[in-house]
Amino acid sequence: RTQALLNRGARLTEVLKQPQYAPLPIEKQILVIYAAVNGFCDRMPLDRISQYEKAILNSVSFSILREFL
């Protein structure tokens, strides 16, 4: 259990990293953080988290998400 929490924390840390002066729009941040918090990237190797994040962001229609914000 402790190791699982540490692993999830490491993935959350990776998800929260953003390029300097180029933050993601809030709806994209919400989606990526939701995926990480709910374990969707728990099995993903740390060095592939950014690729996973890009794949998630490319597969969602953000016009739909904006209606919920």
Instruction: Say if residues 69 and 27 touch (Cβ distance below 8 Å).
Output: yes
Instruction: Say if residues 55 and 38 touch (Cβ distance below 8 Å).
Output: no
pLDDT of residue 68: 64
pLDDT of residue 6: 95
**Digits of tens for pLDDT over the chain (69 positions)?**
899 999 999 999 999 999 899 999 888 898 899 999 999 999 999 999 999 999 988 888 766 666 666
pLDDT of residue 49: 94
**19 vs 14, 16, 43, CA distance in Å?**
12, 10, 24
pLDDT of residue 3: 94
Q: pTM to 2 decimals?
A: 0.79
Domains for the chain: give ranges and CATH numbers.
Answer: 2-66 (1.20.150.20)
